[in-house]
Amino acid sequence: MNPRPDISLFKHLINWYRQNKRPLPWRKYADPYHIYISEIVFQQTRIDQGISYFNNIIGKYPDFISLSKAHEKDFLNVWQGLGYYSRAHNILKAASIIAEKYDGELPSEYDKLLSLPGIGPYTAAAISSIAFGLPIPVVDGNVKRVISRIRCIGIPTDKIELTNEIQDFLNQHIHHFDPSDFNQSLMELGALVCTPANPSCPDCPVEKFCGALKSNSVEKYPVKAAKKTKPAVSINFYIIFCNDKKDAFYMVRRDSEKIWKGLYEFPCIETDESEASVNSTEQQFPAGFPLDHAQPVFRTNHVLTHRLIRASFFETVYKKKVPAHWIKVPVSEAHTMPVHRLIQEYLEQMHDRKKQ
């Protein structure tokens, strides 16, 4: 490992950040609510993908009080397309707690932030440092990459030992600087310059401090975690029209499921080919429902963090009594329902077929 960079490393980095930081909307006013929303939205989403969602959420729900009054369906419609829907549910839960317990104001204490749904150590550190100036380092993927290269740390990225070592190192320096700029400068460097592939080393404001660059081994850091094979889930979705005109079909709301909670989809069955499951319970079809008569119309795949989903869609008409939890939805209103990406793909291709 190269010798510990002295405090001038962070002076150079923060000066660079103040001159080159992106004009992101939540940086304009340092509003704790805006910072909170940005941190949750961008937990699993790239900046360029999520800015429009951030703006839409802030526009419709300008503070925690209005957010605490949001209906789940309405908020999921705003969130639709961002994925990782547990974040949306946690936002609503946290908003209710903040409205009731903290009079609509985000608490500034790290421990109180950590107690809110959906906020872990990284997010609590980011909010407390950026919104409230507390000297708590943030260790996300960008920071791990930057510090691993600067200090030539050979610990894989999925190991807690790497997080702990970087946390200890940053703790020694953050007290000397503005915590918000300190943390954001590291994350900004990783996002704009010290990227995973083809980093712009000549443009790096701290290249003279980088051990990996000096040893011509930038591509070796950070040490990647061992790849894990994603088990495949095979699902058959049934678009069940309630009449021959095919102007309405049945949907079901996912409740207490492993993923996509609160979203709507078509009745479905996981097939015997599945290597894992994303359903907590089997969808209940009416006794004698003619699954074999449904016509295949569409197939697609969807990659999740821990699963590969292979989805097949079948259409049929069914005029008999259906389970109480099946919801009749006019086809013309399907776009108003909060749905996950697989259902959205089917609706898009159905729309394209009608235009042909």
Helix, strand or coil for residue 210?
coil
Query: Are the C-beta atoms of 342 and 260 separated by less than 8 Å?
Result: no
Number of other residues whose CB lies within 10 A of the CB of residue 235: 23
Catalytic residue among 39, 188, 265, 315: 39
Residues belonging to the chain: 356
Helix (H), strand (E) at residue 92:
helix 86-101
For helices 86-101 and 72-79, what crossing angle results, to 10°? 130
Helix, strand or coil for residue 5?
coil
- Indicate if 273 belongs to the active site: no
Token reading at 183: 């943390």
Separation of alpha carbons 70 and 283, rounded Å: 29
Helix (H), strand (E) at residue 342:
helix 341-355
Report residue 301: phi and psi, to 5°.
-120, 150
CA dihedral 84, 89, 90, 96 (to 10 degrees): 160
Separation of alpha carbons 162 and 165, rounded Å: 5
Separation of alpha carbons 181 and 282, rounded Å: 50
Residues annotated as part of the active site: 39
